[in-house]
């Protein structure tokens, strides 16, 4: 992830972003918080999907913790 993407990600708390991980996973995620300190900076998010009316709906009942080093790209979500 570039420094510009990292800055973008930090400005998206409570918003939905499109993430790609180094493992090749693609997900839409609502960012809850980012912990950008210590040896393992990470973020906590809820995976979401686009609903029939274009609003985002949470997938499942669990959140995700992702290491910032495991995020390849962070971008605005695709337009509905």
Q: What is the CATH class of 3-75?
A: mainly beta
Domain extents for the chain?
3-75
Decide if 1 contacts 18 (C-beta within 8 A).
no
* pLDDT, position 54: 84
Closest CA relative to residue 31, chosen from 64, 3, 60, 72:
64
Beta bridge partners of 31: 45
Q: Taking 50 as the threshold, does the pLDDT of residue 80 lie above it?
A: no
- Is the entire prediction scored with pTM above 0.85? yes
23-71 pLDDT per residue, tens:
999 999 999 999 988 899 999 999 999 988 889 999 988 899 999 999 9
Distance CA(57)–CA(35), nearest Å, equals 24
């Amino acid at each position: 992830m570039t420094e510009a993407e990292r800055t973008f990600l930090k400005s998206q708390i409570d918003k939905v972003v499109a993430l790609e991980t180094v493992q090749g996973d693609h997900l839409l995620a609502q960012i809850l918080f980012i912990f950008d300190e210590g040896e393992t900076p990470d973020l906590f998010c809820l995976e979401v999907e686009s609903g029939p009316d274009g609003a985002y709906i949470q997938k499942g009942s669990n959140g995700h913790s992702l290491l910032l080093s495991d995020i390849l790209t962070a971008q605005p979500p695709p337009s509905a």
